[in-house]
Amino acid sequence: MKQDLYAIYSIWLREMLRFFRLKSRVFGSIAMPLFFLVFMGVGFGSSMSMMGVSSGVGYVSFLTPGIIGMTLLFSATFAGLSVLWDREFGFLKEIMVAPVSRISIVLGRTAGGLTTGVLQAVIILISGILMGMTMPSLPGFLLSLVFMVLIAATFIGLGLAFASKMKDMSGFSLIMNFLIFPLFFLSGALYPLDRFPVIVRYLAYLNPLTYGVDGLRYSLIGTSALSPVVDMAVLAICCAAMLFLGAYLFENTEVN
């Protein structure tokens, strides 16, 4: 038990150190969300009524939770990519044969991905506030942290599941990009869900990120398309399912 806890901490610390040492990764993971926030928030701010955004809610306020969801979605995929990176350079084989459970390895990677993802999300939130987003209340901010953790954990589990069955980093990146952008655009991050065509709206309801973004909007600006209880319940179920799938596939993966 003590060895597993130490393994979780060590892997978490390694992920944190690697994140902050790779300045290009820090810049790249924040630059694109900020690009969306600045250019879409400013460019479409004057036409928020056309977007179907509720009166009294600025488009920057509406957009910021969606960009936070985008940030968490993109950052979570690095957890899967780091598995392939470690496989490529032999580190994964070393930790897989260590006298610790593979679940502790999964938990360490998940904790590292959660921490870096939430840090990036808070930076985007602060940027949104500086651009004119309504200041969230303290309870709303704390609730948004819960949604951030659930979103990040959901897609970290998905990334680990794919990484456990793949060996090629370029192929992983292509597949994840193929999944990420539809998930993002179908989440209601940029436009209200009721502006979608009916068929597209049903597809959006199958997307876990939809419930995460909607829950973040409720937490941060007090408006949502769905009940926050529904958002929390669906996202928690998806989170548990994805983490279980990722842990199961990782535990049964073979490292040559």
Residue 255, pLDDT above cutoff 80: no
pLDDT average, residue stretch 213-221: 93
**Which of 16-20, 97-101, 227-231 has the highest mean predicted lDDT (pLDDT)?**
227-231
Asked if 211 and 235 touch (Cβ cutoff 8 Å), the reply is: yes
Span 125-135, pLDDT tens digits: 998 888 888 88
Asked if 159 and 81 touch (Cβ cutoff 8 Å), the reply is: yes
- CB contact set of 135 (below 8 Å; sequence gap of 6+): 129
pLDDT at residue 233, rounded to an integer: 96
Reported for 21-27, long-range contacts at CB under 8 A and 24+ positions apart, including other chains, are 25/78
CA of 164: how far to CAs of 12, 76, 92, in Å? Answer: 19, 15, 11
Percent of the chain with pLDDT over 70: 84
pLDDT at residue 48, rounded to an integer: 54
Span 124-168, pLDDT tens digits: 999 888 888 888 889 999 999 999 999 999 998 888 888 877 777
Binned at pLDDT 50, 70 and 90, residue 207 comes out as: very high
Q: Which amino acid is at 127?
A: S
Compute the mean pLDDT over every residue in the chain, rounded to the nearest whole number.
Answer: 82
Q: Which two tokens mark 47?
A: 């036409």
Asked if 83 and 164 touch (Cβ cutoff 8 Å), the reply is: yes
* Comparison of pLDDT for 176 and 203, the residue scoring more: 203
DSSP 191: S
Give the integer Cα–Cα distance in Å for 177 and 68: 18
CB atoms within 10 A of CB 81: 16
Nearest to 152, CA basis, from 50, 238, 32, 253: 238
Asked if 149 and 26 touch (Cβ cutoff 8 Å), the reply is: no
Helix axis angle, 138-165 to 208-221, nearest 10°: 160
Give the integer Cα–Cα distance in Å for 118 and 135: 18
* Comparison of pLDDT for 32 and 95, the residue scoring more: 32
Give the integer Cα–Cα distance in Å for 37 and 128: 7
Give the integer Cα–Cα distance in Å for 249 and 220: 35
Nearest to 79, CA basis, from 15, 7, 8, 146: 15
User: Dihedral, CA atoms, 220, 225, 228, 229, nearest 10 degrees?
Assistant: 180
